[in-house]
């Protein structure tokens, strides 16, 4: 820890002696600017499919197409949260834009509406109610 403090003090002192416009050196991992090199569409599509395969969304068999860095996801799901998760996974894989055409089943919509009508969400269910099930 003392080496870090000494190094920081040295950078600060060096910049003070160099003049008022000088700034301490920025480590290469902290520099901003210049986007990461873009993946090819085929590599991006493969990366998105791999993320889907490692997740619970694997059972949904979503179709993925990538053109110009834009991912299009199609399919059907019985779990509302998987639509949003699919978008997040595609973005995390490197897609610049995601067009999500996943259709949520009516049964999933009805279940969500019933939960909302009760006035609480899944995480708000009391432990005593869970043990009674």
pLDDT tens digit sequence for 34-48: 445 578 999 999 999
| Contacts of residue 79, Cβ cutoff 8 Å, sequence gap at least 6 | 56, 108
What's residue 116's pLDDT? 84
3-state helix, strand, coil in the chain (%, to 5): 55, 15, 30
What's residue 57's pLDDT? 87
**Taking the domain 41-124, which CATH number applies?**
3.30.1340.30
Instruction: Kindly list the domain boundaries of the chain, sorted by start residue.
Output: 41-124
What's residue 33's pLDDT? 41
Joined tokens for residue 96: 């610049």
What's residue 39's pLDDT? 82
Spans of the chain below 50 pLDDT: 1-2, 5, 7-12, 17, 26-35
């Amino acid at each position: 820890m003392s080496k870090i403090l000494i190094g920081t003090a040295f950078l600060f002192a060096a910049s003070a002696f160099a003049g008022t416009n000088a700034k301490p050196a920025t480590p290469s991992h902290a520099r901003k600017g210049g986007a990461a090199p873009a993946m090819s569409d085929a590599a991006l599509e493969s990366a998105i499919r791999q993320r889907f395969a490692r997740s619970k969304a694997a059972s949904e068999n979503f179709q993925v197409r990538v053109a110009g860095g834009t991912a299009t996801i199609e399919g059907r799901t019985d779990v509302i949260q998987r639509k949003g998760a699919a978008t997040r996974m595609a973005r995390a894989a490197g897609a610049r834009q995601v067009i999500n055409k996943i259709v949520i089943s009516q049964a999933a919509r009805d279940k969500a509406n019933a939960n909302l009508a009760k006035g609480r969400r899944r995480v708000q269910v009391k432990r005593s109610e869970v043990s009674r099930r």
